Copies of this chain bind each other. A is one copy, B any other.
Amino acid sequence: MIEALVEVWSVGSNQSIPVRPRSHAHLHLLVEGWLVRSQTLSDGGRQITDIVLPGDLCGWAAAEFQGTGEDIRACGPTRIAVLRKDVVIERDLFAVWRSWERARDVEARILRSRLVSLGRRNARARTAHLVAELYHRLRRVGLADSGSFRCPLTQGQIADVLGVSPVHINRVLQELRREGLIAFNKQQVMIPDLARLHVAASFDEGLDDVGVEAFCSLI
């Protein structure tokens, strides 16, 4: 692992990840904190397309998001390990490489899953689905226990993920709390009854519980 490691970035809260030359030659392993990747339209609307969690492996083509309204930003203090792609391929880091290949499949599955949410679920089900997704992904890397996890997203950011207004997200969260499905308070999410949450979200475990290989062991 060490031989491929170029450096470790420490990114402050709410800071944007700078695009660097040669970043297309690197893989990035999120060690700590969350990242959101978003796209801003000309009319000011913003849509978050990816939520990167600890243990996630991702590659950013440098030219891909320059001056096009794309942005990758940290939610809270974050550490990112930068790995050289070529070394990962050549050395005995085959496991990492295969995990990278797999990560792209997982990425596509999450994107499709969220596409279904935005297209066919109302705000309540979308919110429930997002929380369920985050819970399952975090559990795989040991960051969610007994129906509870820490979520650094603001309500405004959740709105930008789900394609609704911040005002409406606020009301939906209150409704879900009244129903005893989700309690979201001070960056802490609690799920009293996962099965009921799945029902509210039409969460399909076979389809939506995407398999992310845990890479915390490598960190």
Contact = CB atoms under 8 A, between A and B. Distances in A.
Given A61-B105, A104-B104, A108-B108, A49 B116 contact: yes
Given A49-B112, A119-B118, A68 B202 contact: no
Contact of A69 (B39, B41, B108, B204): B204
Contacts of A46: 120
Nearest to A107: B108
A115 B206 contact: no
Contact of A39 (B67, B107, B108, B116): B116
B39 A207 contact: yes
Interface in A103-140: 104-105, 107-108, 111-112, 114-116, 118-121
Contacts of A45: 120-121
A146 interface: no
A111 B113 CA distance: 10
Interface residues of A, number: 34
Contact of A120 (B47, B105, B121, B204): B47
Contacts of A204: 42, 68-69
Interface string A84-110: 000000000000000000001101100
Nearest to A163: B119
Contacts of A104: 104, 108
Interface in A186-219: 202, 204, 206-207
A162 interface: yes
A202 B41 contact: yes
A71 interface: no
Interface string A40-54: 011101110110000
A175 to B, nearest CB: 19
Interface string A66-83: 011110000000000000
20 contacts: A39-B112, A39-B116, A39-B207, A41-B120, A41-B202, A42-B204, A45-B120, A45-B121, A47-B115, A47-B119, A47-B120, A49-B115, A68-B206, A69-B204, A104-B104, A108-B111, A111-B112, A115-B118, A118-B118, A118-B119
